[in-house]
Structure 1
Amino acid sequence: MKIKLTAFAVALPLALTTLTGCDMTENESDDVTSAGTSTSSDAADAVEGISSGIYDLIGVKGKASDSRSGVEECEGKDRDTYFKIFHPWSFYPASASDLDDAMRNLRERLPEHGWKIVQYGPDTSKNRNIVLIADNDERKAGVHIAQMAKNDPPKLSVDVVSGCYKVPDGQKVEHF
């Protein structure tokens, strides 16, 4: 997988801050929803499964970048007990002209699969990338998708992030 470090460095904190603070709030804190109890590995598999479901909703031919998920701390919580999972990836349509169709499909199909779109429209960057931010309360996850039409090659930048998990009693968070 090839991710430009600057784009990743900008997109990930935005995604982590924005996605987990929307309508998913439950008992754990005022900012991040509880995603339940899990090991880091099992939670990572679940988040990658969510990413796979989003990929299926794109509905145009193309290729996804090869990426793995990672572990992030839950702000204000013990880093050995609580964690979030993030999974950044990109989608490159077979044809640049399919990029608009891919984003339109996501905007239409995500709500049909339990996602609530909380933001849609151009960002404040020079390129005015179209951004879609959605939360899935049932899956305890959020997604930040940016349509980067002016990139070479054009792509969708996708960041999926979980709510805050707690490891099972007697275990510690595996950081990767």
Structure 2
Amino acid sequence: MKTKLSALVLAVPFALTTLAGCSMTDNNSDEITSAGTSTSRDASDAVEKVSSGIYDLIGVKGKASDGRPTVMECPNKDRKTYFRILHPWSFYPASASELGIAMERLKAELPKNGWKIVEYGPDTSKNKNISLTADNDKKKAGAHIVQMLKNDPPKLSVNVVSGCYKVPDGQEIERF
């Protein structure tokens, strides 16, 4: 359990750093793109819908974990006014042999559904996991997907993150 938790702690900042870049930013700056104004609950629901859309594109039988969205800070923004949503989850195919098929389907189907793949290929881990990073400007979201073939059980690790939301005037960010 300690090893898996340590891997998650190391993987999430990497994924978030990766997702904060590319077309998830306005005007090629380091600032994360605005996702508009929303309560954290409504923004969480929107990000879960984005994740569901990605799940639908996988196209092979399997199960998704029950990962719940969480509220995060927006870098260099007032933490009482701005926030992002992170939705981490995993997909476990019915058969390990279908894991590569699932990743190839995502690589082919995401661009047909408004996503721009900004990075694809083996990561720097000793397992050389296949990693895919994609942004969707219309949905103001990014996704980082890692094919973990040598995991027991094999899985796709998925992190979906929103752009920065501003909480409506007179309301507070609910943190969960």
Matched residues in 2 for 1:55 and 1:10: separation? Answer: 24
Supply the AA of the counterpart residue of 1:56. D
Count of residue pairs brought into register by the alignment: 173
Deviation at 1:11, TM superposition (A): 1.8
Matched residues in 2 for 1:56 and 1:174: separation? Answer: 29
Supply the AA of the counterpart residue of 1:50. V
Aligned residue runs from structure 1 range 158-173, under 5 A: 158-173=158-173
The equivalent of 2:115 in structure 1 is 115
The equivalent of 1:22 in structure 2 is 22
Q: The residue matched to 1:159 in structure 2 has which SS?
A: strand
Query: Structure 1 segments of 4 or more deviating over 2 A?
Result: none
The equivalent of 1:44 in structure 2 is 44
TM-score normalised per structure 2: 0.95
Q: The residue matched to 1:117 in structure 2 has which SS?
A: strand
The equivalent of 1:126 in structure 2 is 126
Matched residues in 2 for 1:15 and 1:140: separation? Answer: 16
Percent identity between matched residues is 72
Tell whether the 8 Å contact from 1:20 to 1:141 is kept in structure 2 after alignment. no
Structure 2 residues not aligned, in runs of 5+: none
Deviation at 1:17, TM superposition (A): 1.3
Deviation at 1:16, TM superposition (A): 1.4
Tell whether the 8 Å contact from 1:142 to 1:161 is kept in structure 2 after alignment. yes
Q: The residue matched to 2:92 in structure 1 has which SS?
A: strand
Aligned residue runs from structure 1 range 1-176, under 5 A: 4-26=4-26, 30-176=30-176
Structure 1 residues not aligned, in runs of 5+: none
Deviation at 1:10, TM superposition (A): 1.7
Matched residues in 2 for 1:105 and 1:10: separation? Answer: 27
Tell whether the 8 Å contact from 1:15 to 1:161 is kept in structure 2 after alignment. no
TM-score normalised per structure 1: 0.95
Superposed CA RMSD: 1.3
Matched residues in 1 for 2:107 and 2:63: separation? Answer: 19
